[in-house]
Structure 1
Amino acid sequence: MSSRSSSRPSTRPDPPAPPPRAVSVAELDLDLDTPDGPVTALRPAPGGPPLAPGDVYALVRLRGRPAATVIGAVREGEDPAEVLGALARERVETAARPRTEAEHHASKREVPRSGGTPATPPRASVIVATRERPESLARALDSLLAQDHPDHELIVVDNAPRTTDTHDLVTHKYAGRVRYVREDTPGLAVAHNTGAAAADGEVLAFTDDDVIADPRWLTALTEPFAADPGLGCVTGLILPARLSTPAQVLLESHGGFAKGFAPRLYDSARPPADEPMFPFTAGSFGSGANMAFRAAALRQAGGFDPATGTGTPAKGGDDLYAFVAVLSAGFRLRYTPEALVWHHHRETWQDLRNQAYGYGAGLTAYLTATLVRRPRMLPALLTRLPRGLAYARSMTAQRGEGDGGGVPGEHGTQHHPWPRSLSRLERRGMLYGPIGYAKARVAQAGLRKAAAR
């Protein structure tokens, strides 16, 4: 479900300078069984345009597994596979070198890949919340119906619809293959709770209507639950399907939605040394466009907070709240880059402004929700706050220090300076978040009273 903030930050023109160039997005398959392993395939990203001379951003797969991203300038007449293949081999070689101290800490949370036969993934329910986006929804559903998972169902939750477009699409084009559920109360968390209540899977997988899922997405996202009974949540990798506008390139240059290519395990019993605010650093765990929960764990955690999420005054934070809720209930959370979806980023400068404000609001709204619903976590937050603030200052100080040239090559490379106006909008959103959450709670209470009459 796409972000649709009701906030309208100032539309004063404030584009990044110089504007980032459009970038082709591709998938590059390498065989590295030999030192000079050949490129076995190069193709456009799913849902993206054909490759063209110029800058090309490519996902590197090693024997089918996502391993890195590279960016290369391909001139007219050059072989893109040759240019990108050389960069990919260099990237893989660099990744194998000794780690920095921060990377060493992170490596302690990496999950080793099993060399044995993968466990059979449990039955899964895929839930897609949507609102008035039938064209992008159809693209997402086509990819979800092509999954190689052996036992799953697909549910679309039509959230506060204004037209019958979504209903008509699902009940006509996808009749018998996709279940249609209507939820008239606006809000992403409410829609997710409604979808979860209608589902019968042991695992509940959630994604958005603006993604294209890799054919192995659902299998990779659900297999870990079969191997680890203490696992409550799994998140996956999100990469851009297109980088055709300056706003899309800028967002991806500062990390986008990706969380890297190393599998990681988060456990409240073993807090990570490199995250002083854990478990309140929920943004590092994953994103709502690519997440799955053990159904029993999500129920035990109380589900999604209905006063969070896009479509509510809180503007976001529903996924972050659920991550922390499941961790605080005693379950583990795993990030796996093998579970891949391609995301269609917002295209315009105003979209990016709204997104920046919504991120800030969602962050403090989810923290407020966590403390309101789990007041026992307040001492832990206060204890971690001094170190966390120092850590946040060091991280935000790096933003805006890009060199102003180039294009994104990997998560968070920050080749383009982050405009100060967007940082100001994020901070404004953070100030608003607790107020938005309170407004959403009041609205939810009013709806409950009206329903009880």
Structure 2
Amino acid sequence: MRLFGTTRTGTPAPAGRGTWCCEFELSGDAVPRAVTEPAGQEQARVLVRLHGEPLGYLGVPLPPTGLDVDDLVRLAHATFARGIAAHLAEEGVHDERLPGRPAAAGGRCPNRVVADDLVTVVVCTRDRSAVLASCLERLRRLTHGAVEVLVVDNAPSDDGTRRLVESVAREDPRFRYTVEPRPGLSFARNRGLAEAAGRFVLFTDDDVSVDPDWVQGALRGFRRRDDVACVTGLVCTADITSAAEAYFDARASSWSSRTEARLFDLAGDRDASALYPYAPGIFGTGANFGFDRDHLRALGGFDEALGAGTRTRGGEDLDVFVRVLRSGRAIAYEPAAVVWHHHRADDAALLRQLYGYGTGLSAFVVKCLMSAGTRGEVLRRLIVGARRLAAMPGDAGDRLDGRSARPDGALRRELLGVAVGPLLYLLALADLRRRPHGVPSAP
């Protein structure tokens, strides 16, 4: 049974090298389901969940007849026995069906969140109404009772997005449309933040397919501790049918493969990385994050000199993570907040994205160097950071494990972005000075 189908394009991966990505709920009688149909892959990556909570991934062969449910159940118990036992113990359940398929979740399920908090979901988009339609269809399936979906149309060149959202809103009043005329993802996100009615604001991208229980997963993260001001979640790869998708999947492992909850702050819950808290990928990604609305407003929102659609092309996510931590609040990584991301399917698009990663990262570093509060911390990490950046493409190649080749020029494009990012940030600041209300927040 599939949840939602979509058509992907791009250079096909070598025969048998692609991976069909799906999920499997261990309890009840559900069958594997996915956001895309199999496309001739010989391997499957299965996210195993128990009462919605991710336990981890299984890599299995994908025969033409499809996955065998009984085999998945046996393999899940063999692989995730400790996680299954811990979940059921927290729920207070002794299930005589084990090691078969557990019963449905009970009232004490740790992944069951009962809340009436109004949550605003913000989707920023620009001239991609065809892609956005799939995103909105999935958002219509959200199960949280008190939710509004705000689509921010960023500097549109036509009325396609407005017409699409208005057609959806006629059937589902939870959806509404607004426009942000200034081009740039941070401008668009700040527009959504300003208009959000919810206590919590969740952001996702137009190329993302959300899980129906995504909002509840995020709320679980906010309940991890009273000082949590930001929640990130699991961003699963939606499918791998091209070499570019395979490479990006390997690069994205820091936020696409972790299935254990984690708290981050500047006190006792620090990551062991020598770059912490200035390292990209530790906390999560902007395709799946949410904030305490009032706290993010107090921080000044997103830095409008950073992000897609500006000269710098990125860096705004890491910037806001660091500012949350430096404000004395915590970040919760909550794998129960699941979304599925469609990666760039061709080499040209992937190389543009890697270039943007480079420009955004060095632009963010320069911002920190320009601030007395963060200058010393960043200077002490520059050498380690440079070494880590140089090793990143090789690490991704190792994770590919021969399944696909690294795109030609990947490292060169990213390093070029790093080299020009500082200049681009200064130019972006000049752009903001020529615009009203364009003052970036201090890190």
TM-score (norm 2): 0.82
Aligned to 2:30: 41
Aligned to 1:320: 318
Distance across 2 between alignment mates of 1:375 and 1:283: 24
Higher relative contact order (CA 8 A, sep 6+): 1
CA contact (8 A) 1:134 1:166 kept: yes
The answer on 1:132 being equivalent to 2:120 is: no
CA contact (8 A) 1:241 1:344 kept: yes
Partner SS, residue 335 of structure 2: strand
CA contact (8 A) 1:259 1:284 kept: no
Distance across 2 between alignment mates of 1:226 and 1:401: 37
User: Which amino acid letter does the alignment assign opposite residue 18 of structure 2?
Assistant: A
Partner residue of 1:238 out of 218, 235, 238: 235
The answer on 1:28 being equivalent to 2:17 is: no
The answer on 1:144 being equivalent to 2:144 is: no
CA contact (8 A) 2:358 2:421 kept: yes
The change in CA–CA distance for 1:83 and 1:390 in structure 2 (over 3 A counts) is same
Aligned to 2:246: 249
Distance across 2 between alignment mates of 1:395 and 1:449: 37
- Structure 2 unaligned residues grouped into runs of 5+: 1-10, 85-107, 439-443
Aligned to 1:192: 189
Aligned to 1:55: 43
Distance across 2 between alignment mates of 1:16 and 1:425: 22
Partner SS, residue 374 of structure 2: helix
The change in CA–CA distance for 1:361 and 1:88 in structure 2 (over 3 A counts) is farther
Partner residue of 1:177 out of 174, 193, 202: 174
CA contact (8 A) 2:154 2:188 kept: yes
CA contact (8 A) 1:315 1:436 kept: no
CA contact (8 A) 1:232 1:293 kept: yes
Return the offset for 1:95: 8.0
Partner residue of 1:210 out of 207, 210, 214: 207
Return the offset for 1:377: 1.0
Distance across 2 between alignment mates of 1:139 and 1:16: 22
User: Which amino acid letter does the alignment assign opposite residue 203 of structure 1?
Assistant: F
Return the offset for 1:200: 1.6
Return the offset for 1:22: 2.8
The change in CA–CA distance for 1:260 and 1:188 in structure 2 (over 3 A counts) is same
Spell out, residue by residue over 1:394-440, the C-alpha distance to the aligned partner (whole angstroms, 9 max, x if none). 6665343457534xxxxxxxxx4534621121111111211221221
Distance across 1 between alignment mates of 2:223 and 2:144: 13
Partner residue of 2:402 out of 401, 405, 408: 405
Partner SS, residue 30 of structure 2: strand
User: Which amino acid letter does the alignment assign opposite residue 124 of structure 1?
Assistant: V
CA contact (8 A) 2:234 2:288 kept: yes
CA contact (8 A) 2:111 2:220 kept: no
The change in CA–CA distance for 1:91 and 1:394 in structure 2 (over 3 A counts) is farther
CA contact (8 A) 2:12 2:242 kept: no
User: Which amino acid letter does the alignment assign opposite residue 43 of structure 1?
Assistant: P
Return the offset for 1:25: 2.1
The change in CA–CA distance for 1:392 and 1:92 in structure 2 (over 3 A counts) is farther
The change in CA–CA distance for 1:22 and 1:116 in structure 2 (over 3 A counts) is closer
Name segments (4+ residues, structure 1) moved above 6 Å. 15-20
User: Which amino acid letter does the alignment assign opposite residue 442 of structure 1?
Assistant: A
The change in CA–CA distance for 1:93 and 1:58 in structure 2 (over 3 A counts) is same
Return the offset for 1:235: 0.3
How many residues in Structure 1 have an aligned counterpart in Structure 2?
A: 402
Partner residue of 1:281 out of 279, 282, 291: 279
- Structure 1 unaligned residues grouped into runs of 5+: 1-14, 32-38, 97-112, 407-415
User: Which amino acid letter does the alignment assign opposite residue 199 of structure 1?
Assistant: A
CA contact (8 A) 1:234 1:334 kept: yes
Partner SS, residue 400 of structure 1: helix
Aligned to 1:10: none
Q: What are the within-5 Å matches in structure 2 for residues 52-451 of structure 1?
A: 54-76=42-64, 79-92=67-80, 115=110, 118=113, 120=115, 122-175=117-170, 176-226=173-223, 228-255=225-252, 257-258=255-256, 260-270=258-268, 272=270, 274-372=272-370, 374-389=371-386, 398-401=395-398, 404-406=401-403, 416=404, 418-419=406-407, 421-448=409-436
Partner SS, residue 281 of structure 2: helix
Q: Larger deviation: 71-80 or 225-234?
A: 71-80
User: Which amino acid letter does the alignment assign opposite residue 430 of structure 2?
Assistant: V
Return the offset for 1:128: 0.6
Return the offset for 1:18: 6.4
Return the offset for 1:392: 5.5
Distance across 2 between alignment mates of 1:265 and 1:338: 14
User: Which amino acid letter does the alignment assign opposite residue 241 of structure 1?
Assistant: A
Return the offset for 1:288: 0.5
The change in CA–CA distance for 1:75 and 1:116 in structure 2 (over 3 A counts) is closer
Q: Larger deviation: 200-209 or 21-30?
A: 21-30
The change in CA–CA distance for 1:80 and 1:243 in structure 2 (over 3 A counts) is farther
Distance across 2 between alignment mates of 1:277 and 1:92: 31
Return the offset for 1:16: 11
Distance across 2 between alignment mates of 1:116 and 1:172: 34
Spell out, residue by residue over 1:283-312, the C-alpha distance to the aligned partner (whole angstroms, 9 max, x if none). 210110100011122122221000111111
Distance across 1 between alignment mates of 2:408 and 2:83: 32
User: Which amino acid letter does the alignment assign opposite residue 325 of structure 1?
Assistant: R
CA contact (8 A) 2:266 2:326 kept: yes
User: Which amino acid letter does the alignment assign opposite residue 128 of structure 1?
Assistant: V
Partner SS, residue 405 of structure 1: coil
Q: Larger deviation: 162-171 or 131-140?
A: 131-140
Spell out, residue by residue over 1:330-383, the C-alpha distance to the aligned partner (whole angstroms, 9 max, x if none). 1100100000011111111111111111111111122223444x4311112223
Spell out, residue by residue over 1:109-137, the C-alpha distance to the aligned partner (whole angstroms, 9 max, x if none). xxxx9959746263211111001111221
